[in-house]
Structure 1
Amino acid sequence: MNESIKTPSVTDEASTPQMKTKCEHHAECMKVIQAILDDQATEAEKDHFRENIDKCIPCIESYNLEKCIKTSLADKIAKKPCPKNILNTIISKINS
């Protein structure tokens, strides 16, 4: 018999926190995730996120997906200054 395989005991399972497979507050969590990724989260939101992220599979997956999308978009979008003539045209239209 292979002795490296350990069967978890009842006390091991009781001490290991169960991961949630369904998030009861997913809409609220998504708002917090967006605020965190946009660097606009309050300390209370950050604390809630830190506590929740280790226990909730949907929140972990949503955070990773949103972070990946944000990073991909930032890498793909070239930041170019607006040409001066276009800027002047826009400003004149706004002021008229």
Structure 2
Amino acid sequence: MKEHCDHQVDCLKMIQVILDGQATEQQIERLRNNLHTCQPCIQMYNLEKEIKQLLNGKMEKKCCPEQLIASIKARISQFS
């Protein structure tokens, strides 16, 4: 088992994509293979997963008022 990850930034990005549910099957398989050999990636995966679960449990989901959405979109379009 590796004790140091030479690609920690890339691995973290891949972990986040996977936990967000936006990964391809190829990315999932690549991470699965990596987790069998890389201790730092196992720790990063577990930490990111725990953080995501905690945030989802603590956040109350509410709809934004339509006026707020329109205002934000108008401001964004000014920069386009």
Q: Match for residue 70 of structure 2? A: 91
Amino acid at match of 2:47: L
Q: Match for residue 46 of structure 1? A: 28
Task: Quote how far apart the aligned CAs of 1:90 are.
Answer: 5.1
Report percent identity of matched pairs. 49
Q: Match for residue 14 of structure 1? A: none
Q: As a proportion of its length, which structure holds more helix?
A: 2
| TM-score, structure 1 normalization | 0.68
Task: Quote how far apart the aligned CAs of 1:89 are.
Answer: 5.5
Q: Tell me: CA distance 1:91–1:73, structure 2 relative to 1, closer, same or farther (3 Å).
A: same
- The size of the alignment, in residue pairs, is 74
* Unaligned ranges ≥5, structure 1: 1-18
Q: Tell me: CA distance 1:44–1:81, structure 2 relative to 1, closer, same or farther (3 Å).
A: same
| TM-score, structure 2 normalization | 0.80
Cα RMSD of the aligned pairs, angstroms, is: 2.0
Is 1:26 the counterpart of 2:8? The answer is yes
Task: Quote how far apart the aligned CAs of 1:43 are.
Answer: 1.6
* Unaligned ranges ≥5, structure 2: 76-80
Please give the alpha-carbon distance, in whole angstroms, between the structure 1 residues aligned to 2:50 and 2:68. Answer: 37
Structure 1 stretches of 4+ with a deviation exceeding 4 A read none
Amino acid at match of 1:68: E
Computing the radius of gyration from Cα coordinates, the structure with the larger value is: 1
